[in-house]
Structure 1
Amino acid sequence: MSCGKIRLAAAIAAYLIKKKQIKKKTKRNVWVRNWVLRRIGLSFQNTLLEELRTEDSMQLINFLRMSNDDFEYILSLIQTSIQKQDTKMRLAIPPKDRLLVTLRFLATGDSFHSLMYLFRIPVCTIARIVLECCEALYQCLKSKYLKVPSTEEDWLQYSNGFHNKWNFPNCLAAMDGKHVVIQAPKKEGSVYFNYKGTHSIVLLALIGPNYEIIYFDVGCNGRISDGGVYNNCELSKCLQQNTLHLPSPRSLPGRTIPIPYVIVADDPFALKKYIMKPFPFKSQPVQNRVFNYRLSRARNVVEHFFGQIAARFRILRTPILLSPQKTRKIVKAICALHNCLLNRNSQYASSMTFNSPVSDNQGECRTEGIPERNMLPLELHNSRSQAQEPKNVRNEFAEYFISPEGAVEWQYRHI
């Protein structure tokens, strides 16, 4: 063997030995730090939190994003799921403290290191607690608060709400997507890189007239448009196969042509007989501009929903420094909490700052820009008559909104 090869082999061996030494785990100086052990008597949840509970309930709501009654109710539901067993070595962290840490993380988006000094719980433990509690919140709340309507009567309640509050009859829900910003995942390249220049996963939500979540899908990479996310989710398949038990087509008030019940959406979604989107481009006739305004007014429900959950759970306003899979658990827990708190008609619901539905300044018509184009399944491109049917439904809505039965006196001031 030549001298050069010998030196190369020696260099490689030295490099591997050094690398192994670096990876070697250093021995702990202490098992648990002393200031962490004093959590039971001196931690935040045993001092300031109790003072807020008895002296300043509004600040407690600001801290937890819910009232004390709501906190105790949710704790009672998930307590058994997050309870850990005490051992001879140490006492387990109580379920109450685990839920407090999780809610504070969702409310602020603080780093685990910041929460460590607040709650006197190590970072590695907080990382496990947050994910375990988020999973428990979703699993314990979904059966009661995240049920998709299964009967025509349930769907008609949503339709009546859109008609009475947002002046849009035969409407079941508003649909849109939100990018949840995350840190760039390892070894994923540009898969999660979106058009806004960040990495994200998409939350697609179907929202009712009172801002309740009817259906949601989260986890699709941000590189895909909202329309593409919809095409790949279960909701799209169920609507195509008509398995959601939607109400039968019905004519609009004062009209004679039966039309299907619809979901209102924006440009990235494909126009279908059960999905209404605005007329594209500018310079539309008055009838089409009125339709665009009325649709935008109803669709503002989902826009307000996204704004308010981000204001309530501010983790959604900062990049989440976790993997897409872990971020998905966090978003699912937030959706479950939103519906639960909204359903209880508590301080959470009364403090909403959504625009009044009876106001005459509901949003602006947003028809600018070129619609995104998505690749649709081939079976959707059938005959010309089937392609024309959604346009006929949209035209029927447009004619109704300028008729004496469907027009509102202030709609022409916003077109």
Structure 2
Amino acid sequence: MADVEVVAATAVCLLSVMNYLNVLKRNQKKRRYRQRRWWMKKIHQNRTTNSINTFFMELTSEDGGEFSNFCRMSSTDFEFLLHKIGPIIENSKPDCECPYQQRYVSTPAISQIIPEVCKAINSVLKDQIKLPQTPAEWLSIEEGFRRKFPRCVRAIDGKHIVIKCPPHNGSQYYNYKHTYSIVLMALVDSEYRFIFADIGGQGRISDGGIFQNCLLLQKIDTGTINLPPDAPLPGGEIDVPYVFLCDGAFAIDKHIMKPFPGNHNFNTMERTFNYKLSSSCIIVENVFGILTTVFRIFKKPIEIDIENVPTVTMTCILLHNFLINSRTSSNIYAPPGTFDSIADGVNIDGSWRQNQPNPDNSALRPIARVPRRSPRDIYEIRSEFAHYFHNLNTENN
């Protein structure tokens, strides 16, 4: 009897397992053919039926900051720009109610629309970038740098804007890095705004030629930039000029300060000067950094017609200044923590660095230059700055 009971119990267990497996299989089959459901925003549900105009209306009404995440500006500023450029870029069709009303646009039409819109934006925002014209205007700007680097009026830097090979004349834009490019030379103030941009120099021009052909450098050399007259540093007696700060790739000049070359021991005059200069020049790196992070056309070599590259670049620069100056969009475009900062002598990286493209793939690349030989008195000016910062550092310690 015992053997019969064991066999019966085993059979019952096997039947139970088989029934469980069959039920599990049927449930899996039901789940497989059950209609799946996803949560989707309204703007994406209607993406095949809405026009561009309706898309932006629904984007504004969405919760969670969808509009600001998509446009990187407030709806107020977007409406302002649309109102300004709308009459300039109106579609030629009489039944078009809005310049963004068309739903389907062909590729050839897009290639015409984008430069047209960029030119309209440049026309509307042209006052967003302006080089100071009088010594008083330069002095008001110097206040932003005075705490870190007195007598500094701006930081300057240049970039190669990498492009695709232009047809028929590629050799004119072929640079020493074996890429094709045009040159951007820019001045930046202490508020992370462009105040000057010279775009369009051919990448083939020699390193020294790039620097010499820049309109800004021509103004500096000819004395037509109207800087304030030379004045002593705080507590000093020797007159020093107002200067632009730059990195080591530039050539030192009367109005252009660069770091001392080489490595220097801790707490030396040269090292203190280099630290002060680099902590002020980091503003330029931050401005170019957020430009490549937000305006994604700079994330890789630009593949548009060469004649449109300066226009598109200037549009991005003007929009950068417009959004930095905007009361409603500045925290959307560059929220707190975006730029690098220094706390208790420690450098803190800004959030823009997290999304920075690979420098080898980016459209904005540094310009290398061969320094010019400068008169001896120019090095004496740099030494005067170095003595000032070294004495200041000694007093604070």
TM-score tier by shorter-chain length is 0.7 to 0.9
Post-superposition CA distance 1:346-365 (Å, at most 9, x none) = 3334634002365623489x
In the alignment, is residue 94 of structure 1 matched against residue 76 of structure 2?
A: no
Task: State the shift of 1:95 in Å.
Answer: 2.6
**Aligned to 2:283, which of 278, 294, 301?**
301
Q: Is the 8 A contact 2:53 2:101 kept in 1?
A: no
Amino acid of the structure 2 residue aligned with 1:138: N
Distance in 1, Cα, partners of 2:120 & 2:54 = 27
**Deviations 1:32-66 (Å, cap 9, x if unpaired)?**
xxxxxxx9992452454323211236221222222
Q: Are the counterparts in 2 of residues 342 and 348 from structure 1 also a CA contact under 8 Å? A: yes
Preserved CA contact (<8 Å) 1:264 1:276:
yes
State which of 54, 61, 74 in structure 1 corresponds to 2:81: 74
Counterparts of 1:226 and 1:304, CA distance in 2:
24
Match of 2:137 among 151, 154, 162: 154
> Which residue is equivalent to 1:213?
194
CA distance in 2, matches of 1:309, 1:57: 25
2:120 is the counterpart of 1:136: yes
Match status 1:241 vs 2:222:
yes
The match for 1:360 is 345
Contact 2:181 2:203 in 1 (8 A): yes
Q: 1:283 to 1:402 in 2, by over 3 A?
A: closer
For 2:91 and 2:47, how far apart are their aligned partners in 1? 16
C-alpha displacement at 1:228, in angstroms?
Answer: 3.4
Alpha-carbon contact 2:53-2:100 (below 8 Å) kept: no
Task: Confirm or deny: 8 A CA contact 2:244 2:257 kept in the other structure.
Answer: yes
Mark the structure with the bigger radius of gyration: 2
Taking a change above 3 Å as real, the CA distance of residues 181 and 58 of structure 1, as seen in their structure-2 partners, is farther
Which residue identity does 2:328 align to in structure 1?
S
**Corresponding residue for 1:403?**
391
Residues 14-413 of structure 1 aligned to structure 2 (within 5 Å): 42-43=49-50, 45-56=52-63, 58-87=65-94, 91-92=95-96, 94-96=98-100, 119-142=103-126, 144-164=127-147, 167-224=148-205, 228-283=209-264, 286-349=268-331, 351-352=334-335, 353-356=338-341, 360-362=345-347, 372-373=369-370, 387-404=375-392
Alpha carbons 2:85, 2:120 under 8 Å: kept: yes
* Change over 3 Å in CA distance of 1:289–1:44 after alignment to 2: farther
- In 2: Cα distance, 1:297 partner to 1:226 partner: 25
Q: Given that residues 185 and 214 in structure 2 are in contact (C-alpha distance below 8 angstroms), is that contact kept between their aligned partners in structure 1?
A: no
Structure 1 residues 60 and 361 mapped into 2: Cα distance closer, same or farther (>3 Å)? same
* Partner of residue 3, structure 2: none
1:299 is paired with a residue whose SS is helix
User: Deviation string for 1:385-408 (max 9, x for gaps)?
Assistant: x81221111001111111137876
Residues 52 and 100 in structure 2, CA contact (< 8 A), matched pair in contact too: no
Q: Distance in 1 between matches of 2:93 and 2:104?
A: 18
> What SS does structure 2 have at the residue aligned with 1:125?
helix
* CA deviation vs aligned residue, 1:80-105 (integer Å, no higher than 9, x gap): 22123324xxx44733459xxxxxxx
2:199 counterpart letter in structure 1 = V
Q: Secondary structure, in 3 states, of the residue corresponding to 2:392?
A: coil
1:358 and 1:214, CA in 2 relative to 1: closer, same or farther beyond 3 A? farther
Change (3 A) 1:266 1:183: same
Deviations 1:143-192 (A, max 9, x none): x211111122221122110123xx11110111111222211111224332
CA distance in 2, matches of 1:406, 1:121: 65
Q: Kindly tell me: are residues 329 and 97 of structure 1, through their superposed partners in 2, closer, same or farther at Cα, counting changes over 3 Å?
A: farther
8 A contact 1:300–1:363 mirrored in 2: no
The offset of 1:216, in angstroms, is: 0.6
Question: Does the Cα contact within 8 Å between 1:83 and 1:94 map onto a contact in 2?
Answer: yes
The answer on whether the counterparts of 1:159 and 1:172 sit within 8 Å (CA) in structure 2 is: yes
TM superposition shift of 1:230: 3.0
> What CA RMSD, in Å, does the superposition of the two structures yield over aligned residues?
2.8
Answer with 248-257 or 167-176: which moved more.
248-257
Shift of 1:320: 1.4
Distance change >3 Å, CA 349–CA 222, structure 1 → 2: farther
Cα distance 1:225–1:173, how it changes in 2: closer, same or farther (>3 A)? Answer: farther
In structure 2, how many angstroms separate the alpha carbons of the residues matched to 1:217 and 1:363?
A: 31
Calculate the TM-score normalised by the size of structure 1.
0.72
Q: Give the SS at the match of 1:75.
A: helix
Q: Distance in 2 between matches of 1:262 and 1:406?
A: 24
Find the aligned partners of 1:406 and 1:192 in 2 and give their Cα distance: 49
Residues in 2 aligned to 1:406 and 1:54: alpha-carbon distance in whole angstroms: 58
SS at match of 1:215: strand
Contact 2:156–2:186 (8 Å) recurs in 1: yes
Structure 1 CA distance for aligned equivalents of residues 243 and 175 of structure 2: 29
Q: Give 1:315 shift.
A: 0.9
Given residue 113 of structure 2, which amino acid in structure 1 is its aligned partner? I
Contact 1:178 1:202 in 2 (8 A): yes
1:82 and 1:359, CA in 2 relative to 1: closer, same or farther beyond 3 A? farther
